[in-house]
Structure 1
Amino acid sequence: MSKTVKFIFCVIIAVVLVSAVYVFSMSKKPVIKDTFKIGMIAPLTGDAGFVGVGMKNALLMAMEQWGDGKYNYEFIFEDDQLDPKISASAAQKLINVDKVDAVVTVGHAPRITFPLAKKHDILHFTIAVQKDLADGVNNFTHWAPSVKLNGLLVEEMQKRGIKKVGVFRTTSLEAWVAYMDDFRDAIKNTDIRVVTDQTFKKGEKDFRSLIARAKPTNPDIYLIFVETPELEIVARQIREAGINTPFTTLEGFEVTEQPELFEGYWYVSLDFHINNSPNNLS
């Protein structure tokens, strides 16, 4: 991932976490205690470790810039390695053992933490695209909703005359499933159709049989809904199969360690949502 993309990503995370700390500091709970405990669940190791490490560093940097305030803040970081079982254990530990006042989550952890935040009446601030993960009482999200991002994706496809879409996607992470569901809804009243939909689980390394099934459908573009490292493996194996069809996605290209695989391809991200103009890696 380029230094520019990493910088932008860290700035976004810093904004999210500063906002979270502000919400936490405005709650009634700190009135009765001097120290406010905030837990964070994110991948700190493994293939997606750079995401969690960026979040952790951004949080610490944000608090350093925040300076002295009315309360002391204690941070507890849990590495879930983007594994839902570890996410569940981490959430239970932070809430029942560490007795945190608030939790910041990403990946699998938001869905797991949502009911626990309501049950234990703590604040939960998440980076997630699913609108049902916010209730405005205990649970809050800070990201562009999947519905809006898919609306922009379909709008751009129509401008470019794209009618046939081939999909490669994981079913292991809820955010990607939500993206696909909302994409299908977004194309219902258009002439865009999904001509092939190839699904797989996280950890898959050989996509050649899926690619062989998708190739005869001859899509105008391949929509890839998966995180690193499967993102890079899928793209590389598609090219090795002699297929030159362009790629697109929602956000995924900006957190790749191999941007050269997606050089010149447009995609939709939070920045697209803000500026209403497509990103391009070229």
Structure 2
Amino acid sequence: MYFFIIHCRMFLRFNTWKKKMPYFYTRSAPLFFVFVIALIFINFSYAHEFQTDSKNKHKVDVHIGIYAPFSSHSAFIGRNILAAMEMGSERLQSSDIHYSFYTLDQLPKNKNAGLVLQKFIDTHHINVLVTGGKETGLIAAPIAKKNNLIHFSLTNNTKVADGRNNFIVWSPVYDQAKVLVNELKRQQVHHLGIITANQPSSTALTHSVIKQLQADSHIDVAASEFFEPGNKDFSRLTSRIKRKNADMYLVMASPEDIKLIQEQMEADKQHVPITSIVERATPEVVKVFEGQWYVDSHEMQPDFINEFKQNYLNYPVTEAGYAFDLFQLLNKSIVMAIRTQGSPTRQEVVHQLHDIANSTGVMGTMVLDTKGSLFTKSEVKTVKNGEIHTV
């Protein structure tokens, strides 16, 4: 606002002056307005930088916006992210950095989510954006770049990350695919059948698995089938794959769909094991994979799980572990930026993040690759008598 008032004063003074020198105004007006617009653009690009105290530049206000599901059947995602980051904030010893958290419920696909997200950022002066839930990261990435924000997306979609403004905080698809293929080779699978839900997250994983199979195995893809989400009748699909004689089936779909496919295969007397890459270990996952194995994110540390359960009376999902770790890394990066620069900027915080990211958190040993994927290595897990075990 201060810069806007200055621009207005400059314009009024120039307007008075140009009446006295109309000939000069005719030639220089275009240059003047280009100059004003450039100043406004520069001010806009710094509008979401970290705010420091005018009396103490080491005191910083950080506004974290969380764009994730908070009211739908996936509301646990947003609530876990917020709860874990608040846990991290409460542990801080320093009073020089103050964190405020703001939430925005994920909008339906037919709503103009980009405009609403931009208004949310402007209204609350967001410096750091955290997104969770399907497709939120893809919506937020260009907005974060435009506003010069730091954006962490809890997704495995590497298209979101650029390593400058945008980071993903999850095992990326290439890591998940590599772990899966290594286990297939260890299990001596020769003919793999693949069943995929026709939706972006599932197809991306299937594509990455096939790419890894071609690069690092002699495993044959015996069958590849797609189905539309919402389909409840899998009799035709299982009838087609029955003739393919696969050793194992990779089913890239929700646990609910995997259960329906599994039931139809049993009805057709197809006793072929299945596997998958799952987002998080839900009760449905435990039921579906009893006696079988699957690929999942690294297990959270027991101490964190117990503290979360004590505070919120719920078992934390994977998003909570990653949100807690990213908050710790963000805070350390801001502290280091203050020490080296006096006051933090987005560029310096990101620079520090790249330097210190390779550390151990509640999700295990974190790695930040050059493209902006912050993750812990995926793991193979089995379910025995209703309990999950890491292989």
Q: Can you list the C-alpha shifts for 1:199-250, whole angstroms capped at 9, x where unaligned?
A: 2333333333222222221211111212343343333333344332111111
- Among 261, 266, 275, which residue is 2:288 paired with? 261
Aligned to 2:203: 177
Give the total of aligned pairs.
254
CA spacing shift, 1:263–1:113, aligned 2, 3 Å: same
1:281 matched residue in structure 2: 383
Equivalent residue, structure 2, for 1:187 = 213
TM (normalized to structure 1)?
Answer: 0.77
Q: CA deviation at 1:196?
A: 2.1
Larger CA Rg, structure 1 vs 2 = 2
Choose the corresponding residue for 1:30, options 51, 54, 60: 51
**1:29-68 correspondence runs (5 A):** 29-31=50-52, 35-66=61-92
Aligned twin of 2:184: 157
Does the Cα contact within 8 Å between 2:249 and 2:273 map onto a contact in 1? yes
Equivalents in 1 of 2:73, 2:243: separation in Å?
32
Q: Measure, in 1, the Cα distance between the counterparts of 2:280 and 2:164.
A: 33
Alignment of 1:215-226 (within 5 A): 215-226=242-253
Matched, 1:104 2:130: yes
Counterpart residue identity of residue 234, structure 1? I
Distance in structure 1 (CA, Å) of the matches to 2:127 and 2:234: 43
Match of 2:170 in 1: 143
Contact 1:87-1:108 at 8 Å conserved across structures: no
Which whole-Å CA distance do the structure 1 matches of 2:75 and 2:256 have between them? 11
Cα separation, 1, equivalents of 2:93 and 2:263: 46
1:196–1:36 CA distance, 2 compared to 1 (3 A)? same
Q: For residue 238 of structure 1, what is the aligned residue in structure 2? A: 265
Q: SS of the counterpart of 2:129?
A: strand
C-alpha distance in 2, partners of 1:152/1:249?
11
- Aligned partner of 2:130: which letter? V
Aligned sequence identity (%): 24
Does 1:74 pair with 2:176?
no
CA distance in 2, matches of 1:140, 1:101: 14
Unmatched 5+ residue regions in structure 2? Answer: 1-47, 55-59, 300-374, 385-391
- Equivalent of 1:88 in 110, 113, 118: 113
Are 1:226 and 1:252, in contact at CA under 8 Å, matched by a contact in 2?
A: no
Describe the SS at the equivalent of 2:102: strand
- Kept in 2: contact 1:44–1:53 (CA 8 A): yes
Q: Deviations over 1:40-80 (max 9, x none)?
A: 12233444333333223222322233366323322222232
The correspondence for 1:123, drawn from 124, 145, 150, is: 150
Which one of 222, 228, 232 corresponds to residue 205 of structure 1?
232
Confirm or deny: 8 A CA contact 1:266 1:279 kept in the other structure: yes
Answer with 207-216 or 139-148: which moved more. Answer: 207-216
Shift in alpha-carbon separation, 1:277–1:116, aligned structure 2, 3 A:
closer
Whether the aligned pair in 2 keeps the contact of 1:80 and 1:86 (CA below 8 Å) is: no
C-alpha separation in 2, matches of 1:226 and 1:154? 18
Change (3 A) 1:258 1:275: closer
Structure 2 distance, partners of 1:125, 1:180, is 24
Provide the C-alpha distance between the structure 2 equivalents of 1:253 and 1:166, rounded to a whole number of angstroms. Answer: 23
Where relative contact order (Cα < 8 A, 6+ residues apart) is larger, the structure is: 2
TM-score by length of 2: 0.57
